Structure 1
Amino acid sequence: MCKMVNFLVILLFVYVIHHGGATTYKCDQTSPCGCSPVSPIVPKIHGGESSIPQSWPWIVSLRHAGFDKEEHFCAGVILEASYIITAAHCVQQEWMSILSDITVCAGSVRLSDACLQTRSVRQIIIHHGHNNRTHENDIAIVELDEPLDFTDRWVSKICLPSVKTGSRYPLAGTSVMTIGWGQTRQDDTASDKLQQVTLKVMDDSTSACSNTLTNRTVQICAYGLNKDSCPGDSGGPLMQFTTAKRWVLVGITSYSSSNCTLPIKPGVYTRVSAYHNFIKAAIQGMYEPPVNRPYTCECQCPYAPQIIDVLPNGDKYVGQTKNGKQHGRGTYYASGGNYTGEWIDGQRTGKGNQTWHNGDKYIGAWIEDLRTGQGIYMWPNGDKYEGQFKNNVKHGVGTYYFVDGDNYKGDWIGENRAGQGIMTSYNGDEYIGAWLDNKKNGKGVFIWSNGDSYTGDWIDNMRTGQGIFTWFNGSKYEGEFKYNWRHGVGTYYFGNGQTYTGDWVIDEMEGQGRMTYHNGDKYIGACRNNLANGKGLFIWSTGDSYTGDWIDDMRTGQGIYIWPDGNRYEGQFKNNIMHGFGTLYSNTGNNYTGDWIDGNFTGQGMVSWYNGDKYIGAWLNHEKSGKGVMIWSNRNHYMGDWKKDMKTGKGTMTWANGDTYIGDWVDDMRMGYGMYTSSDGNKCEGQFTEGKISDDSKCNIKMKP
């Protein structure tokens, strides 16, 4: 499943890149219906485009196995786990009498792909008023042999219009969408991949619409420039994305002109809001076609001019009327809720209270059946909005009180927080500033309950742009932000007086920067992971300085360290210590070049003293130790073993006058067996003690000390 999700995300990303300014419909994922796991991106039925995989989980393919092979013949829409809604003309053919030949394929975008879920048909319920000639009442319910599995997120149901919606729902001019596997070009074959197209509901009083449909009460015209549903789309949905952030089924694809691309020829769709009773009865197993009685509309029909009026659908009105319409004050009792208040010409206009059976309640102003003006809307979960409305949505200035204690007071546009507003959270956090699409967008100030604060730019609820973040402990950052992180160029003021100015990447000091410490120390150079990393210069307040490589805030690599007294080291470092190969230049003129371990001469190296003395050889912890050659400025020289800075072991000492000693040494003295040869060729050989031959009676040479 994770691989599937990742694949869909990649497809979505490629789709968005390709389609630039397309609209993405993000639904309310908590809704029990009308919400897909992948947000649809708009607008091919004809003139449209291929849909994003899994963006329409309620569409199904109706297939018939009575031909040479199983073929798609119509689309359908999932109403409940066991019920599909489709067009009556799709399932009224004679060959449909063999139900075992019909299958319902759910969860697949391509007709050529295997079905994610397949079901057989138990029964088909066709509206008794269906007329093949006029296409009136072109609606049917298909009951499945077993329920679809909604735990599979790629299969789910669409929402139906609320019973409180009027008979003219949706209104002319409403943006709607239809989907299907119909032709993508006239005279073409059906599309293998699910297509989608955005249309507009056409005013049914126009000639283009009135000349196309038969009964405007139960049929809808919808059109688009060179866009429409085509053969193969029948039974599919005409949908509206509502302010509740979900898709509602407003129509069933019924028929179109022979040329489904003519710009002046709309498609015709069965109006779903006119069939609440039929759908409810069919799903509850209570539908009984009337005998010898013509079908009459289930929607709101003209009312008799009386104070108590019972409508054909069971709704009741008690109140004042005028010319057969609600007018004045009155109460309307409907299956979906009740309204008490003022009416003008059959529409809620003025002050009134509306309650819905789901627990929602509205008290306020109405204009032509729409919440418009000042009002209060209350939800059953405890949320409440007080403020201005326009055309049924929050619009203007108002306050929203969330049940958890949060509240927003400010501007609203089209149901969304947009403009200037203040959001106060139950925990004491507060935001004051600009909003767009329910998110912090623009300039704003956020103050946390712990004392932290941010002043600056916001994009989609995140600190992005220029801003100042101040922590309660006195620390402060001024500079660029991205996705709530310090990102770009900025200055951080530590609470202890330390400051950093430079580059930031995802909330960390990374790039080039300058760190100034409270004691006057300074670092200028590369940073990574909030530490000195790379090339950099450190200047201590004492006058010391280091230029070179850094790893995790420590001198590591090649560098130059200079002491204030003039001493200088050039070479390798490790963990802040001279380690590796390098040269120490002393202000006295003494120099060492060679190996270092943990800050000490250790290994092979050479020391040159200011007086001309020189040692080349092995070292251990700053002392001559091992094999080495010492050359004095007076031209004496020693070659041999050393230990703790003294000649110890085997060695040869040669004096400037030509005398030599070859033999054993201990602590800078001839000790052990050796041979001393004078410049004139005389030799003394034997055991030496404390620099002298043990039997000096046999040696008449005056030896050098």
Structure 2
Amino acid sequence: QLQQSCHIQALESVRCKRYWNISIHNIRYHFIPACGCGLPTLPPVLSRVVAGEDVRPHSWPWQISLQSDSSGRWQHVCGGTLLSSEWVLTAAHCINDRYNYRVELGKHSLKTSEEGSVALRAAAIISHEDYNILLSRNDIALIKLSSSVIFSDTIMPACLPDGGVVLPHRAPCYVTGWGRLSTGGALADVLQQAFLPVVGHDICSQPDWWSVLATDKMVCAGGDGVTAGCNGDSGGPLNCQNPDGSWDVHGVVSFGSGQGCNVLQKPTVFTQVSSYIDWMNTVMTNY
């Protein structure tokens, strides 16, 4: 019998990071503990390049593609974050009640059939009851998958921060997604990552930045006029590394400037995950 001590946080977002590989009667099993999160088998190759770049395949294994059948076939509409074997986090503005949705996990290239990827229908979608589409407030939603996904080297859950945690100004984080590579451009085929330092709320809420649109339940990141989240990145994660090397998802891509993807002093704005831990726990308990 194997045991390990875990410091359990909300949503089983915990700090135990070891993986058990066990051979029984010459059959090899790869066990990922229920408390494992935030440490990819293949760590991301980090750089602070200007603009985004292709990621190392499967180095952000909690990144999902949310797809709708709005055009008669499945198409990528938003990103999202795998939280557990049954639950995915995304943005409320990604959801339209007229359409059906599925979640594709373990993907690197959206156009290629890849070993280790899986597509599951959404069994339930719960948007925040106080979501305000005009002000982009409470822009958060949870998706319950139609069946439990099996964790692997390509599919792992993210860690989440403790409730109420606020990132400091210039905290180094990365946004990931298959969003448009430029304003009005095509969606990326291969998953992209971009370095986005956090902009403190006192700066982001200034009149020449986002002013009152940026609330204390949001995280701003970027704003250098070069690098930003773009259309199609919506709902995806803002990934920030802990001192122990694990990654917490602190944000859900919510909105950017209507003038384009990379506008000076108009950073990408994320729903601040730490402000919604209690809401997420309540939803996941009741469904």
Instruction: State the TM-score, normalized to the length of structure 1.
Output: 0.34
1:617-642 CA-partner distances (Å, limit 9, x unpaired) = xxxxxxxxxxxxxxxxxxxxxxxxxx
Q: How does 1:152-301 map to 2 (within 5 A)?
A: 152-163=152-163, 165-166=164-165, 169-206=166-203, 207=206, 211=210, 214-223=213-222, 225=224, 226-258=226-258, 259-285=260-286
AA of the residue aligned to 1:95: R
Q: Deviations over 1:85-119 (max 9, x none)?
A: 0000001x2423xxxx3111000111102261111
d(CA) in 1 for partners of 2:18, 2:80 = 23
1:534-545 matched pairs, under 5 angstroms: none
- The DSSP-based 3-state class of the residue aligned with 2:190 is coil
The correspondence for 2:90, drawn from 86, 89, 106, is 86
If each structure's strand is expressed as a fraction of its own residues, which one has the higher value?
A: 1
Q: 1:95 aligned to 94, 98, 103, which one?
A: 98
The 1:156–1:110 alpha-carbon spacing in structure 2 relative to 1, beyond 3 Å, is same
Corresponding residue SS for 1:205: helix
C-alpha displacement of 1:130: 0.4
With over 3 angstroms needed to count, the CA separation of the structure-2 counterparts of 1:156 and 1:213, relative to structure 1, is farther
Q: 2: CA distance between counterparts of 1:82 and 1:28?
A: 20
Q: Find the counterpart in structure 1 of residue 11 from structure 2.
A: none
Alpha-carbon distance change, 29 to 230 in structure 1, aligned in 2, over 3 angstroms = farther
**Structure 2: which 5+ runs fail to align?**
1-15, 20-34
Contact 1:176 1:240 in 2 (8 A): yes
2:121 corresponds in structure 1 to 120
Deviations 1:183-221 (CA, angstroms, capped at 9, x unpaired): 111210111110000111112222267525625221111
Mapping of 1:612-623 within 5 angstroms? none
* C-alpha spacing 1:275/1:46, structure 2 compared with 1 (3 Å): farther
Give the conservation status (yes or no) of the 8 Å contact 1:183–1:232. Answer: yes
Cα displacement (A) at 1:46: 8.1
Q: Percent identity?
A: 28
Cα deviations across residues 632-684 of structure 1 (Å, max 9, x unaligned)? xxxxxxxxxxxxxxxxxxxxxxxxxxxxxxxxxxxxxxxxxxxxxxxxxxxxx
Matches within 5 A, 1:20-99: 32-43=36-47, 47-91=51-95, 93-96=96-99
Paired amino acid for 2:143: V
Given the superposition, is the C-alpha separation of residues 190 and 279 from structure 1 closer, same or farther in structure 2, using an over 3 Å criterion?
A: same
The aligned counterpart of 2:9 is none
Deviation at 1:49, TM superposition (A): 0.5
How many residues of Structure 1 are paired with residues of Structure 2 in the alignment?
Answer: 251
Contact 1:45/1:227 (CA < 8 Å) preserved in 2?
no
1:493 alignment counterpart: none
Which residue of the partner structure matches residue 148 of structure 2?
Answer: 147
Check 1:208–1:53 CA distance in 2 against 1; reply closer, same or farther (3 A cut): farther
Partner of 1:254, secondary structure, is strand
Map of 1:501-540 to 2, 5 A cutoff? none
- TM-score, with normalisation over the residues of structure 2? 0.82
1:231 Cα offset (Å): 0.4
Contact residue 45 and residue 184 of structure 1 kept, 8 A: no
Distance 1:264 1:210, change over 3 A: closer
Greater relative contact order (CA < 8 Å, ≥ 6 in sequence): 2
2: CA distance between counterparts of 1:45 and 1:252?
Answer: 22
CA shift for structure 1 position 44 = 10
Measured against aligned partners, the alpha-carbon deviations of 1:288-345 in whole angstroms (never above 9, x if no partner) come to: xxxxxxxxxxxxxxxxxxxxxxxxxxxxxxxxxxxxxxxxxxxxxxxxxxxxxxxxxx
Instruction: Say if 2:115 is the partner of 1:111.
Output: no
Letter in 2 for 1:159: C
User: What secondary structure does 1:155 align onto?
Assistant: coil
SS of 1:278's partner is helix
Structure 1 unaligned residues grouped into runs of 5+: 1-26, 287-705
Cα contact 2:48–2:195 (8 A) shared by 1: no
Q: Is the 8 A contact 1:252 1:271 kept in 2?
A: yes
For 2:160, the aligned partner's letter is L
Q: CA deviation at 1:28?
A: 5.4
Helix, strand or coil for the counterpart of 1:95? coil
Q: CA distance change for structure 1 residues 235 and 139 in 2, over 3 Å: closer, same or farther?
A: same
Give yes or no for contact 1:43–1:196 (8 Å, CA) kept in 2.
no
- Listed one character per residue, the Cα deviations across residues 265-295 of structure 1 (whole Å, up to 9, x for unaligned) are 2110000000011110111126xxxxxxxxx
Where do 1:292-691 residues align within 5 Å? none
User: Shift of the alpha carbon at 1:244?
Assistant: 2.3
Q: Are the structure 2 counterparts of residues 194 and 32 from structure 1 closer, same or farther at C-alpha, using a change threshold of 3 Å?
A: same
